[in-house]
Amino acid sequence: MSAPRVVSVASASPAALAGLQVGDEILAIGGRAPRDVIEYRLLVDEADPELTVRRGHEELEVVAAKEAGQALGVEVSSAVFDRVRTCDNHCEFCFIYQLPKGMRRSLYLKDDDYRLSFLYGNFTTLTRFTELDLERVVTEGLSPLFVSIHSTEPELRARMLRNERGAVSLRWLRALLDAGIEVHGQVVVCPGVNDGAALEATMAGILDEYPEMATVACVPLGLSRYSTESSMRPHSAAEAGAVVDLVEQWQEIALELLGRRLVYAADEYYLMAGRPFPAAAHYDGFPQHENGIGMARAFEAAFRGDGDLAFGVRPGFFAWVEGAPAEGYRAPRRGVGAGPGPPHEPHPGGGGGQVCLITGEYGAAVLGPVLAPLLDGPGAPRPVRLLPVANRFFGGTIAVTGLLTGTDVSAALAREPAGDRYLLPDVCLSNGRFLDGVAVEELPRPVEVVPSDGASLAQALAPAPAGARR
């Protein structure tokens, strides 16, 4: 088990006054070695915690004078200090298997760890869940958790996970719900595998066996050009429309039986089917916003200032690896590309040229209608244009903004004029780098990195005060 390493110390904090330094390794707190940041937070939440610290080759005992509940003032290097519980499923739709060679090693690590589910909203199949895990989740109130369902039919679920335990691991879902843990579910819909009648059976199974679930998201298979699974294929527009129709039918059933919709279709389905998004009220508070459920309507509402909608945005598919803050995706972002270390400073844009919004292909489909009054054209109040970037790095059906790479963004920007003001959403970045390791500073045009929510974009597009420089 590795010890958490201090990566920042807040000035004038109890940690700073106690003499803790960046680079210190925290071996124990009150004589107990924390296994993860959850346990670490509980231990340092106590009054006057006693820390055993390794600094170089020396071990020190440090007492931080503070009240119970007062922040220690330290950021640590990772979320899990013992071994991450890796996934022993071999799902044919798993995106990790669809990565090209040569990327950062951490991107190839498949986790099935309930702690990362609690911290970052990662979905766990529960195939490696145990009685001890259940006891800890219930005792420490680790809620909400996020569970991959895919199918409630045991044989189909085991086949999709390529793991015989997949047929029985949903018993832990029943146990979590019985213990009062809030659980959000996900069904990755694969055409010809668990759609159609199989998806309808899953909807019926969820409503019959797990009606206490908070929400269930139906999301489409993401297929990169590196997939080697011959049975995996993209949805057709008709198949996407069929998923939307089926979900909306079961929403009506759930509304009648439970008084809430329970199940939702991802925004991507409406885009693929060429359907309009449901109204914002349809999403019941956007509980799975960060999983692409109602993200378009939430963005639109926040951009227009309709209500107080503040959502944590995960930095892309690989939310928990190096660049993720140890507190999890619910933590306030300390800066662009939040994570250990100093926040990434926005780059100043160009002079008086157009404002250009860099986005993925799906992002452009969402942003176009929202920004229509601002887009360049006759009568436009400000010169604004969209730069949709095709994801050639991953290819296939990958079109979400969070999976854009520096390689593709660089190629697109190289064809754009100098002097314009380029805005890049921070959802592409972790610690100022794209998934392929390209740093923001390496882009061929200077960009401003802005938070990936509607309110932040509206603020970035607002006219600067007279005499102010961006």
pLDDT in tens, the chain (470 residues): 688 899 999 999 999 999 999 999 999 999 999 988 888 988 999 999 999 999 999 999 999 999 999 999 998 888 888 877 788 889 999 988 888 887 777 777 778 888 888 888 889 999 999 999 999 999 999 999 999 999 999 999 999 999 999 999 999 999 999 999 999 999 999 999 999 999 999 999 999 999 999 999 999 999 999 999 989 999 999 999 999 999 999 999 999 999 999 999 999 999 999 999 999 999 998 888 888 899 899 888 888 887 555 444 343 334 433 333 444 434 443 333 333 333 334 444 445 578 999 999 999 998 888 888 776 666 666 678 899 999 999 999 999 898 999 999 999 999 999 989 999 998 888 878 898 989 999 999 999 999 888 888 888 888 765 555 55
Overall residue count recorded for the chain in this entry: 470
Q: Where are the domains of the chain?
A: 6-76, 96-293, 355-461
96-293 has which fold?
A: pyruvate-formate lyase- activating enzyme (3.80.30)
Dihedral sign (CA 155, 157, 160, 164): negative
Top-level class of domain 6-76: mainly beta
Cα distance between residue 81 and residue 18, in whole Å: 23
Distance CA 34, CA 45 (A): 13
Beta pairing class for 6-9 and 74-76: antiparallel
| Alpha-carbon torsion (70, 72, 76, 80), positive or negative | negative
With CA atoms as reference, report the closest residue to 85 among 59, 62, 119. 119
**pTM, 2 dp:** 0.83
Encoded tokens for 91? 């799902």
